A and B are shown apart, each in its own frame.
Chain A
Amino acid sequence: MADSKSNAYGTNTSDTSFRKTWDKAEYTEKARAREAQEREEGKARYEAKLQGKKYYKSSDTTTAKQTESRANRLNVAANVGKTMLVPAGVAAVGKRGRGAGFYCADCDLTFKDNIQLVDHLNSKQHLTNVGESGEVGRATLEEVRARLEYLKQKREEDRKELNLVDLQERIKRREDEEETKREEKRRKRREKRRKTEGGVGHNVEEDEESGIIC
């Protein structure tokens, strides 16, 4: 990036020194955390040995990503309206394998209703399986403002789309109305022609397309 350019936030991006310091600080922090973890593990292993037990490393939480809000509503409606035969005995929570009910593909478990499914999706067991820590990052004021701005724009776009649909519907309705009118005209013309043919017999030519009588 060229020097003396400012970014969208109006802050100067040419000076990247802050970044280096931050990276270094982050690195140091990570190294410290790792050392601490290793110490902790060593201690746990030692204590387990004292008690004559085997030490099992707990699931790795340092690489787990933070848990985020659901982007969509759970798609449980996909099962609505389908007849599902739930065999007796399935009522138990979390039956292994794919069965009739609500299925979690990550854990290969089937649940009998959406409440049990969502309870499961929120559970430590599921989060561990999908590599999430169950911790949620805090948002700053700037992130809140950005979110609100995004939601505002989204709402405006939704409104525009609604208006557009509305407009298209109105155009369609108008066209339908005009078509009905034209149809009515044609009908009357045909009626008139029939009368003249059976009557005096002077010739009437008609242009169907334009509706002009020559």
Chain B
Amino acid sequence: MAHQADARRMLDDRGYTGQTIHDTNPAHLLEKAVRDRIIDSYYWKEQCFGINEATLCDRAVDMTFIGGTYGQQKPTPFLCLMLKLLQLLPPREIVLEYLHQREFKYLTALAAFYVRLTFSSVDVYKTLEPLLEDYRKLRRRTKDGGYALVYLDQFVDDLLTKERVCGTSLRKLPARQVLEDLDQLEERVSPLSEELEGLDDSDDNERNGTTNGHDEESDSG
């Protein structure tokens, strides 16, 4: 099955008949203002036209930062590729391949964002929590056009806890505890907490505080 090189069908608000995610046109998981900025952008027109699940990788590996919009509301390639993914709706196995390949960290970040937008709540936790141990560095484009350093685990933590990330209001995610109480999620045992317990037992206090090499503060706009 092929898809249309342009996104007219997806962007047609009145006559959308395609697959829905969370009971809505997938494109609507991004905000209207952002969507309009994206389809007006040169990057979208030049780089996102005619790409499929494989050639999207060409673009993804060229990304050098994540983020929402910056400067004069210019959307990042990160957001443009997100809209493209929402148009393509790749099968789960391909999304997980994007997420778990180890060579291209911005592709991992893109897939994590996509998972947060499209997967079910339980699935979001199950799929993204393992990435809380991924400490690779990312650059984030800030609203004023500058850059900020963010670690992949921080970005994923933002996706799990914040309401707005990368210029996008996220669908409400039930607290982990709620899903645990409903027996939909197992209690999470992070390798970090195991390590911390291990530290309590051992006499070696020198390593204390080095397990989490950076502090929590971050500011996703």
**Pair A139/B55 contact, Cβ less than 8 Å:** yes
Please give, as numbers and ranges, the residues of chain A lying within 8 Å of B98 by CB-CB distance: 144
* Interchain nearest-CB distance for A65 vs B (Å): 11
CB of B52 within 8 A of CB of A139, answer yes
Closest to B48 in A: A69
Counting contact residues on chain A (CB < 8 A from B), the size range is: 20 to 34
In the complex, B3 has a CB within 8 A of chain A: yes
Flag if B61 contacts A134 (CB, 8 Å): no
Pick the contact of B1 from A118, A138, A145, A148 — CB < 8 Å?
A: A138
Q: Which of B45, B58, B88, B97 contacts A118 (CB 8 A)?
A: B45
Q: Which chain A residue shows the least CB distance to B41?
A: A115
Chain A positions within 8 Å of B53 at CB level: 138-139, 143-144
Q: How far is the CA of A67 from the CA of B91 in the complex (A)?
A: 21
A144 touches B54 (CB 8 A): yes
Is residue A122 within 8 Å, beta carbon to beta carbon, of the partner chain?
A: yes
Q: How far is the CA of A127 from the CA of B6 in the complex (A)?
A: 11
Known: A122-B5, A138-B2, A139-B52. A148 touches B47 (CB 8 A): no
Contacts A68-B50, A70-B47 given: A151-B3 contact, CB under 8 Å?
A: no
Which residues of the other chain, B, contact A67 by a CB distance below 8 angstroms? 5, 49-50
Question: Does B181 lie at the interface of the complex (its beta carbon under 8 Å from any beta carbon of A)?
Answer: no
Asked if A57 is at the interface (CB within 8 A of a chain B CB), the reply is no
B114 to chain A, nearest CB (A): 14
Residues of chain B whose beta carbon lies under 8 Å from any beta carbon of chain A: 1-6, 42, 45-47, 49-55, 57-58, 61, 88, 91, 93-94, 97-98, 101, 103-104
A74 close to B (CB within 8 Å): yes
Contact of B46 with A73 in the complex, beta carbons under 8 Å: yes
With A122-B5, A155-B61 in contact, do A136 and B51 touch (Cβ < 8 Å)? yes
Given A68-B50, A141-B94, A155-B61: A147 in contact with B2 (beta carbons within 8 A): no
The 10 closest A-B pairs by CB, nearest first: A139-B54, A135-B2, A69-B55, A139-B53, A69-B51, A147-B54, A67-B5, A143-B54, A67-B50, A118-B45
| B191 → chain A closest CB, angstroms | 27
Nearest A residue to B62 by beta-carbon distance?
A: A151
Chain A stretch 111-151: residues in CB contact (< 8 A) with chain B: 114-115, 118-119, 121-122, 127, 133-139, 141, 143-148, 151
Q: Are A144 and B5 in contact (CB under 8 A)?
A: no
Specify which chain B residues have a CB less than 8 angstroms from the CB of A152 in the assembled complex: 103
Interchain CA distance A143-B57 in the complex, whole Å? 11
B50 and A136: CB pair below 8 A?
yes
Closest to B45 in A: A118
With A68-B55, A70-B47, A70-B49: A135-B3 Cβ-Cβ less than 8 Å: yes
